[in-house]
Amino acid sequence: MTVKVITWLDERLGLTTIYDLVLDRKVPKVNWWFTLGSASLFLFVLQGVTGIFLSVYYVPSPGQAYNSIQYIMNGVTFGWLIRGIHSWGSSLMVIIVFIHMLRTFFMGAYKFPREITWLTGVFLLFATLGMGFTGYLLPWNQRAFWATTVGTEIAGTVPLIGDFILRVLRGGSDLSAVTLARFFSVHIWFLPVVIIALISVHMYLVVRLGISSVPKEEESESSGEAA
Amino acid sequence: MADSHEVKRRDFVNIVVVALGTVIGLVIGIPAIGYLIAPATKVQREEAWIPLGPLEAYPLNIPTLFSYTRTRINGWEKTVNSFGAYVWRHGGGESELTVYSNMCTHLSCRVTWREDITAYFCPCHDGRFNKEGEVITGPPPEPLYEYETKVEEETLFIKHMDV
């Protein structure tokens, strides 16, 4: 029965083709460093799911942000768990994405024909840092407030247009309700949409081009350049 | 495959993956459901005697509205709910009175006493109740809720119960 259903669906959706292309594609013999991309993707999904759950109770307003998080932590069943995963997961994601970038760099995996994979990856790293920066303000506690004060102040040191950048980031000269609202919006809409689009291109290229193999020591020693 | 009793390696892996997947799904899924329904599982029911002031303040034979508010905490905020009680004194004595809730028994709109039609009128679906709180016309299924009352030191009290 299940076989019949699966066959019926497969004839119409081409599921096995997708499965073969994406999951059963040929890969060179690689090591654990090559799992960091999948780990990054998993963490992004985890952050997305826990973030959606947090938005059930969180309110992005100066009067209520802090109290709504107190309620998540103390009043909601497993609220501490959902927020804990989101909070710790964000730090872990920055670390994993960064190591993923280092691995790609040191193994020369960014070279032809994978330059666009590398470029989208660089923007994904920036977007991940942006998620960390915007998410850090949302608890609206002392640490969040002053971290964002310092962060936006640093952006303000850019020559000539610095003050303008600062006002764009804060939505005015002061760190206010406007800042909280726009950081929230960027955190849950703008950056996730950008990240999903970039991940789509990134993954399409990984499937299309395949992954590079581990560079061999002899090759780089004899010819002076990596494969 | 079914003929031999030995479990093939591929099947074993499949079974383990499905079993572990189910366990992980439950470990994540149950807290997730608990998280979503948490506010619904906390029922706050309180009752309190509300003072309505001296009995003489209410005129004879004319249902008179007394409004009061009750506050409770929902999530991270205080919610103030308004309630209304119609005091109807049908005689001069302390026990000759009835107090009705102004909440329509149909869908909880608030009714008002209208002297011109001698009825409690609900604007939402044209429900009407007579002076005794019974349904005259319209969709309400039950008569108006009648408060428990007491008079202590010439002050009228009604017993409020949270819904």
Question: pLDDT tens for residues A96-146?
Answer: 999 999 999 999 999 999 999 999 999 999 999 999 999 999 999 999 999
Closest of A41, A205, A75, A69 to residue A136, by C-alpha: A69
How far apart are alpha carbons A150 and A147 in whole angstroms?
5
Return the DSSP state at A35: G
How far apart are alpha carbons B64 and B44 in whole angstroms?
29
As beta bridge partners, residue B48 has B160
- For A186-209, give the DSSP string: IIIIIHHHHHHHHHHHHHHHHHHH
**C-alpha B79 chain-centroid distance:** 14
As beta bridge partners, residue B77 has B74
Regions in chain A scoring below 50 on pLDDT: 223-227
Q: What is the pLDDT of residue B3?
A: 58
> Which of B18, B30, B35 has the most A C-beta neighbours within 10 Å, making it the best mutation to test the interface with A?
B35
**For residue A82, which residues of chain B lie inside 8 Å, CB to CB?**
31-32, 35
Q: What is the pLDDT of residue B162?
A: 80
Question: Does the distance separating the beta carbons of A76 and B35 come in below 8 Å?
Answer: yes
Q: A71 by DSSP, 3-state: which? A: helix
Closest of A61, A177, A65 to residue B76, by C-alpha: A65
Q: What is the pLDDT of residues A63-76, one digit of tens each?
A: 999 999 999 999 99
Choose among A56, A71, A82: nearest Cβ to B76: A71
Q: What is the pLDDT of residue A1?
A: 85
- Taking an 8 Å Cβ-Cβ cutoff, which residues of chain A contact chain B? 53, 56-57, 59, 64, 67-68, 70-71, 75-79, 81-82
How far apart are alpha carbons A54 and B48 in whole angstroms?
36
The b-or-e profile of B49-62 (16+ CB within 10 A means b, else e) is ebebeebeebeeee
Q: What is the pLDDT of residue B84?
A: 95
Contacts for A226 with CB less than 8 Å, ≥ 6 apart: A107, A108, A111, A215, A219, A220
Tokens in use for A63? 């009067």
Q: What is the pLDDT of residue B2?
A: 53
**For residue A81, which residues of chain B lie inside 8 Å, CB to CB?**
31
Closest of B147, B162, B51, B52 to residue B101, by C-alpha: B147
Regions in chain B scoring below 50 on pLDDT: 1
Give the global pTM: 0.85
Cα torsion B67, B72, B75, B78: sign: positive
What CA–CA distances, in Å, run from A149 to A135, A174, A184, B20, B97? Answer: 14, 9, 16, 46, 64
How far apart are alpha carbons A139 and A66 in whole angstroms?
6
User: To the nearest whole angstrom, how far is the Cα of A46 from the nearest Cα of chain B?
Assistant: 11
